Amino acid sequence: MVDVTGTPDRSPAAGPDAAAPPAPDRPAGLAHRAARRWPTLVAIAILSLLLVAGAVEDFADGLAWAAVLYVMIGAIRGHLRRVRMLAVQLAGVLVFGGLALFAAVLDQPWAAYLLAIGWLGHAVWDAFHLRANVVVPRWYAEACVVLDVLLVVAILALA
């Protein structure tokens, strides 16, 4: 039976011919979920390559370059036309570049701790960009959030 609104009647009196409720959407499995999170998998692969290559010393340079890449990508995508957005991105370059430069002159373990703080701050920076969907593509911001957090863990583990 159907009422005047077109909603199927789910009462037992509706009988076996009553329309069955639609099946809930179920995840298609691990492969489907992994395919949707491919930026996360890319971040894990990048960190693995960095660790295998012994590029731990480059984590400081990477922090500065990560901020510069946001400016470059934002400029290419046309997201930095507003002066305020450009100023925010350039401030990010100064902050993260300054942290990387300062960490380069510190002795261990303080350099590692400062780098970990810098990468954690950059993860927050990436999360903002992911949420706001500005400057960089969403997949890039997602991969960066994951990579940055993994870098924090790696730096502290190696310190």
Q: 14-58, pLDDT tens digit by residue? A: 555 555 555 555 556 766 665 677 777 777 777 777 777 776 667
- Tokens 């290559």 locate to 53
Residue pLDDT, tens place only, 65-102: 888 988 999 999 998 999 999 999 999 999 999 999 99
What is the rounded CA–CA span in Å between residue 114 and residue 100?
8
Count of beta carbons in the 10 Å neighbourhood of residue 114: 19
Query: In this model, does residue 11 exceed pLDDT 90?
Result: no
Question: In this predicted structure, what is the pLDDT of residue 102?
Answer: 93
pTM given for the model: 0.70
Q: What DSSP state is assigned to residue 12?
A: G
Predicted confidence at residue 119, as pLDDT, reads 94
